[in-house]
Amino acid sequence: DIQMTQSPSSLSASVGDRVTITCRASQYINNYLAWYQQKAGRVPKVLIFGASTLQSGVPSRFSGSGSGTDFTLTISSLQPEDVATYYCQTYKNAPLTFGGGTKVEIK
């Protein structure tokens, strides 16, 4: 099974800061990677699929990069409404594993 390792598990940053979250797959997954945002008490929402394609309606301050085993989610200028937990997920094959999550807070 493919394991997905996210880091950090949590971070605190100031409004306007650039925030980077990383996700590493234990095996090659090409670009079969999605990023989800889950706000407290809410349903997960897809931000990025195909490692770097922004879902329609998602603010352009979010971006994704990487291929193979190493991936990054970047928030170019953190906003208060970005407080959430972010998960990566591979959908290359079963099991469709999620990373452990990164909780983003405002300093």
Which two three-digit tokens encode residue 69? 């085993």
Applying CB under 8 A, does 54 fall inside the site for another protein?
no
- Residue 98 CB neighbours (<10 A): 16
Secondary structure E strands in 28-92: 33-38, 45-49, 53-54, 62-67, 70-75, 84-90
CB of 14 to another protein, least distance (A): 25
CB of 23 to another protein, least distance (A): 13
Exactly one of 32, 37, 62, 64 binds another protein (CB under 8 A); that residue is: 32
**Distance between CA 102 and CA 107 in Å, rounded?**
15
Segment interacting with another protein (CB under 8 A) among 11-19, 33-41, 58-66, 67-75? 33-41
Q: How far apart, in Å, are the Cα atoms of 105 and each of 10, 17, 36?
A: 8, 12, 16
Contact flags string 57-96 toward another protein, x per CB under 8 A: ------------------------------x-x-xxxxxx
Tell me which residues touch another protein (CB under 8 A).
1, 32, 34, 36, 38, 43-46, 49, 55, 87, 89, 91-101
